[in-house]
């Protein structure tokens, strides 16, 4: 074998895996947005077949021999190729540690789980979901042990989403947040609440909300020729290549804010995928490097930009144009206060910036317990409700608004949740750094967000998977990660809003 | 090898091919309905890869040896297995006659062609489409020669859509139609035209039209849990299995009839796919047997039912509910006349029942000429326009409303067009037979169409590919195919409408 031969084989096989991934991605997207309900069974079989093909390529002799050969000759490769091989081998080592039949069975389980979860949530019936969630967590524990037999399985899982992350680091991170957020929330709750009544109890027609989505995507600079928007139960973003990204939202007639912040949040994910450097396209390095960095981008757009005063001032005229009767007599300032109303609530995706991390903390502690066996799946509703009482001080009326609310576990995204809180904190540190050179508020006020997106592209987006996530963050901000930027930001913002 | 082993291999490989077909089908559907415009390139690469995989399985040693072994021992198989092997070998012989690289290149060409055609149609720019249409026809001629070197390529192609069909038979069929339709149309044109002005020049909001689609799908007994509706440029139906069928439509604010008859037409296709017998599911025999039988079902619903007086009387109250201002003062009888207005027109898909076959005839003669070289692709606009003048007596103002109007050629559906006219004629013969035992008008009037759909299921739908198309038709009607049922139907209907 020569370097050229090995690279050729490697690239051909990566292309094949990406083609299969593309097909599976479109099947998932279609299933979550427009497919008829009885399509799930057929889709499951097809996904099982395709994932088996992908497994065979990823763990097959041709690709692994080529990749190993290249790794042994890495001093002869350029920096990008070297990094590609390193990242590929790391991923494929995980896959290869799982027997093929178990791998395919897990893909099929997840396809089934999605339908079971949807129905369980609809009926608020945890019992029907319990055996599935049990099987999903058991499978993840087993897979983690196959891969790293000597490591705590949840550490393995955390590090798969965010390389280098451990329970120890995550505990420390959440402790730093709790220390500042819990007393801050307490002070907020002692103050008079802001008025957001105009956002509720009226009909905000879906047709007008669809137009609002188009407008918001334009404002945050999304190229619609490369990014479509679909409608689904639980909003998500997916991408097949950098010219084909999809965001989704869910419209609720009773308020425009759910969809509004879904669109901006998912739009932040989309921007990251759309702006990987061209030279990474088609390689394992294209697209977002980790879920925490991804969430840092989505929550940057959603909160640091989307819930800022200049942004609300910018978009409020459009809101009044689309919803003239619903917003009659309302001012931009009232809207700014309303979208920043902070209070303990039941639903994570609807939570305000201040309480959001506490919702994530509940999930993190539960996942930890499910992984080490200190929590059993059958007890999840009780444990969930107790933690909501403890951290947020509220009673959960039913499992639909409790333990069944998120799609992550049924989707196999076990170990994902901490990414949301980490991402929020990463984003705040990026914003502080960005403000050293960019007039962020001025850009938003002008309606031209390109100085902001330009900074993100230059410091985060274009790098794709070239650096591990924490290294990427630290290169962008020129300093070690520090959650205090996030807690400082929260304290400043909510002190002003609630006149603490 | 034993029969059991061969069957096991055969079934495994068919499953794999169907899984790949499912993935490719969803990629196509997604591309035609919701994907962003720049997604075409990436989709083309993925479709190229997947079609290569399907080609390798279909023509590979394992499957062909198993199928050949089973064919050699066919007396030991049950009737369904025997038929399966026969149909599979026929198909795979065609595929295997094409070199893999050419096969994959054609799939990629078609993916590219779709985007080129869309743009060419939009800009009414035939020149940009000419090289593509040339390559598509040349490829089809080449493929037909690979498969049947000693047969006229267009005969080969016609027979691929409708087994046993030849130019000789098609010529005879169209002559029989021309003989009756041309003088009938002449008589119609001498009479005062019916008034359909209320269907035009007003705004029929798309939201209301979407509700109307839901209603129409319900009326024609489509199970929405197994059939979704999407929006696209050029409506089509696709199916991935009998629990996952998709129809599409295109809404035009200026009239409700385009989408209305798209939905009923595509709904007819969908019903056929949804009602294949369960025991055929997952085999090569599941779903419609040929495009002519398929069009017989779609045009049955669209015209024989959907443009009948009882059907219009049934649905008119819903139309008035959804479009109260637009249809103020209009009666059901006026609507019946309006949707049956017959006159030469430019666009096939908007043509009335009487002139429709003439639109198809133009395309048939052009395809024949492109296959035998008597027409060159560069001349297509001139040839097209001359034939519209000859058969329909009208001038084509631009290629957008002329040779660029249909998606068939860019989609590789070369040889498909005659199916529409044949299907119309098949359907009329089925209706005559059905009326011997079913009170068709009474069923429509009652709003419960199940006596009609029940007959179609029992005599057509459930059989999937168990019989060749003409045999299926003749078993259903108990007589040889005869186009006079269609021409008699047209004469009776339009004599009454136009008081000839």
Tell me: the pLDDT tens digits for B322-346? 999 999 999 999 999 999 999 999 9
Residue A86 confidence (pLDDT): 96
- Whether B282 is covered by a domain: the verdict is yes
Q: Mean per-residue pLDDT for B362-388?
A: 97
Q: Is there a domain that residue A142 lies in?
A: no
Do residues A84 and A191 share a domain? no
User: Who contacts B45 (Cβ-Cβ below 8 Å, separation ≥6)?
Assistant: A15, A19, B108
Tokens of B342: 């017959």
Are residues B176 and B36 part of one domain? no
User: Is A319:A199 a contact under the CB 8 Å cutoff?
Assistant: no
**What is the pLDDT at residue B234?**
87
Lowest mean pLDDT among A24-28, A109-113, B172-176: A109-113
Q: Domain span at residue B323? A: 167-497
Question: A497: Cβ–Cβ under 8 A, 6 or more apart, which residues?
Answer: A194, A337, A340, A342
The enclosing domain of A400 has a CATH number of: 1.10.1370.30
Q: Which of A46, A80, A96 is the last residue of a domain?
A: A96
A280 contacts A465 by C-beta, under 8 angstroms: yes
* Residue A49 · residue A103 · CB < 8 Å: no
Whether A130 is in a domain gets the answer no
Q: Do A185 and A65 share a domain, yes or no? A: no
> Residue B246 and residue A483: Cα distance in Å, rounded?
49
**A259 and A360 together in one domain:** yes
ipTM of the complex: 0.94
pLDDT 10s digits, B5-31:
999 999 999 999 999 999 999 999 999
A389 in the same domain as A252: yes
* Cα gap B416→B291, rounded to integer Å: 7
Residue A115, pLDDT > 90, answer: no
- Binning pLDDT at 50, 70 and 90, where does residue A390 land? very high
Chain B hits for A34, CB-CB cut-off 8 Å, are 33-34, 228, 230
Helix A126-147 with A79-96: angle, nearest 10 deg: 120
Antiparallel, parallel or unpaired: β A244-249 and A227-231? parallel
Rounded to the nearest 10°, the torsion over CA A229, A231, A235, A237 is -30
Task: Tell how far CA A108 is from the center of its chain.
Answer: 23
Question: Does some domain include residue B129?
Answer: no
Asked whether residue A451 is domain-assigned, the answer is: yes
Q: Which residue of B has its CA nearest to A13?
A: B49
d(CA A274, CA A246): 10
Pair B215, B333 in one domain: yes
CA–CA separation, A274 and A245 (whole Å): 7
CA B56 to chain CA mean position, Å: 28
pLDDT surpasses 90 at B201: no
**Per the structure, how many domains does chain B have?**
2
Final residue before a domain boundary, out of B51, B77, B96? B96
B23 and B172 share one domain: no
Q: Which of B69, B96, B123 is the last residue of a domain?
A: B96
Asked if residue A37 lies in contact with residue B225, where contact means CB atoms within 8 angstroms, the answer is yes
Given a cut of 90, is residue B382 above it in pLDDT?
Answer: yes
Same domain, A61 and A186: no
Same domain? For B91 and B171 the reply is no
Which chain A residue has the Cα nearest residue B18? A46
- Condensed to tens digits (0 to 9), the pLDDT of residues A451-464 reads 999 999 999 999 99
For residue B266, indicate whether it is catalytic: yes
The per-residue DSSP string of A235-250 comes to --EEEEETTEEEEEE-
Calpha distance B249→B414 (Å, rounded)? 22
Q: Which of A162, A266, A353, A457 is catalytic?
A: A266
Q: In chain B, which residues have their Cβ closer than 8 Å to the Cβ of A111?
A: none
pLDDT band per the 50, 70, 90 thresholds, residue A162: very high
The closest CB to that of A42, out of B42, B230, B240, belongs to B240
Residue A114's pLDDT band, with cuts at 50, 70 and 90, is: confident
Burial A34-53 (b: 16+ CB within 10 A, else e): bbbebbbebbbbbbbbbbbb
| Greater pLDDT, A220 or A201 | A220
The minimum CA-CA distance between A49 and chain B, rounded to whole Å, is 7
Whether residues B348 and B477 share a domain: the answer is: yes
Residue A89 lies in a domain: yes
**The pLDDT of residue A201 is above 90:** no
**Same domain, yes or no, for A172 and A70?**
no
Q: Is residue B133 part of a domain?
A: no
Q: Is residue B109 within 8 Å of B139, Cβ to Cβ?
A: yes
Model confidence at A204, in pLDDT bands (50, 70, 90)? Answer: very high
The residue in chain B having the minimum alpha-carbon distance to the alpha carbon of residue A52 is B16
Q: Is A27's CB within 8 Å of B29's CB?
A: no
Instruction: Please report whether residue A408 resides in a domain.
Output: yes
pTM above 0.90, yes or no: yes
Smallest CA-to-CA distance from A123 within A394, A401, A382 is with A401
Distance CA B275, CA A242 (A): 40
Looking at residue A406, what is its pLDDT?
Answer: 94
Residues in B closer than 8 angstroms to A23, CB to CB, are 23-24, 26-27, 46, 50
Question: Closest by alpha carbon to B27, among B54, B48, B51, B47?
Answer: B47
B230's enclosing H/E stretch is strand B227-231
How many angstroms away from the CA of B405 is the closest CA of chain A? Answer: 24
Query: How far from the centroid of its chain's Cα atoms is residue B247's Cα?
Result: 12
What is the mean pLDDT of the segment spanning A469-473? 97
Query: Which member of B266, B295, B353, B367 is catalytic?
Result: B266
Indicate whether B186 and B310 sit together in one domain: yes
């Amino acid at each position: 074998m020569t370097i050229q031969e090995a690279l050729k084989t490697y690239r051909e096989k990566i292309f094949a895996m990406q083609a299969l991934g593309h097909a599976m991605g479109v099947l998932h997207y279609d299933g979550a947005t427009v497919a008829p309900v009885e399509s799930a069974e057929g889709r499951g079989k097809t996904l099982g077949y395709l994932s088996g093909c992908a497994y065979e390529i990823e763990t097959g002799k041709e690709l692994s021999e080529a990749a190993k050969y290249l790794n042994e000759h890495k001093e002869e490769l350029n920096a990008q190729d070297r990094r590609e091989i390193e990242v590929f081998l790391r991923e494929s080592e995980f896959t290869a540690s799982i027997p093929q039949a178990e791998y395919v069975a897990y893909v099929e389980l997840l396809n089934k789980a999605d339908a079971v979860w949807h129905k369980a949530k609809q009926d608020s019936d945890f019992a029907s979901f319990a055996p599935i969630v049990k099987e999903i967590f058991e499978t993840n524990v087993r897979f983690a042990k196959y891969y790293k037999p000597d490591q705590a399985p949840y550490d393995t899982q955390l590090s798969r989403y965010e390389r280098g992350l451990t329970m120890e680091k995550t505990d420390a991170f959440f402790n730093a947040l709790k220390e500042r957020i819990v007393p801050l929330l307490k002070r907020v709750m002692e103050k008079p609440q802001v008025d957001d009544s105009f956002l509720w109890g009226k009909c905000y027609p879906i047709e007008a909300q669809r137009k609002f989505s188009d407008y918001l995507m334009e404002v945050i600079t999304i190229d619609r020729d490369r990014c479509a928007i679909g409608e689904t139960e639980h909003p998500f973003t997916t991408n097949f290549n950098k010219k084909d990204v999809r965001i989704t939202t869910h419209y609720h007639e009773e308020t425009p804010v759910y969809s509004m912040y879904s669109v901006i949040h998912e739009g932040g994910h989309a921007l990251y995928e759309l702006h990987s450097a061209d030279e990474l396209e088609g390689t394992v390095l294209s697209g977002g490097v980790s879920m925490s960095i991804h969430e840092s981008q989505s929550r940057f757009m959603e909160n640091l930009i989307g819930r800022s005063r200049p942004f609300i001032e910018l978009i409020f005229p459009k809101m009044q144009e689309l919803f003239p009767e619903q917003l009659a007599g309302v001012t931009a300032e009232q809207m700014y206060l309303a979208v920043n109303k902070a209070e303990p609530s039941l639903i994570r995706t609807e939570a305000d910036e201040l309480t959001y991390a506490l919702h994530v903390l509940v999930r993190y502690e539960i996942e930890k317990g499910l992984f080490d066996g200190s929590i059993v799946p059958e007890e999840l509703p009780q444990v969930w409700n107790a933690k909501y009482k403890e951290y947020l001080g509220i009673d959960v009326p039913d499992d639909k608004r409790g333990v069944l609310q998120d799609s992550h576990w049924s989707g196999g995204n076990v170990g994902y949740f901490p990414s949301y809180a980490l991402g929020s904190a990463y984003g705040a540190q990026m914003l502080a750094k960005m403000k050293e050179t960019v007039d962020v508020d001025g850009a938003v006020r002008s309606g031209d967000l390109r100085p902001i997106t330009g900074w993100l592209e230059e410091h985060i987006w274009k790098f794709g998977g070239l650096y591990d996530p924490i290294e990427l963050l630290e290169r962008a901000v020129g300093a070690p990660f520090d959650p205090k930027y996030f807690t400082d930001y929260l304290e400043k913002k909510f002190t002003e809003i609630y006149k603490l």
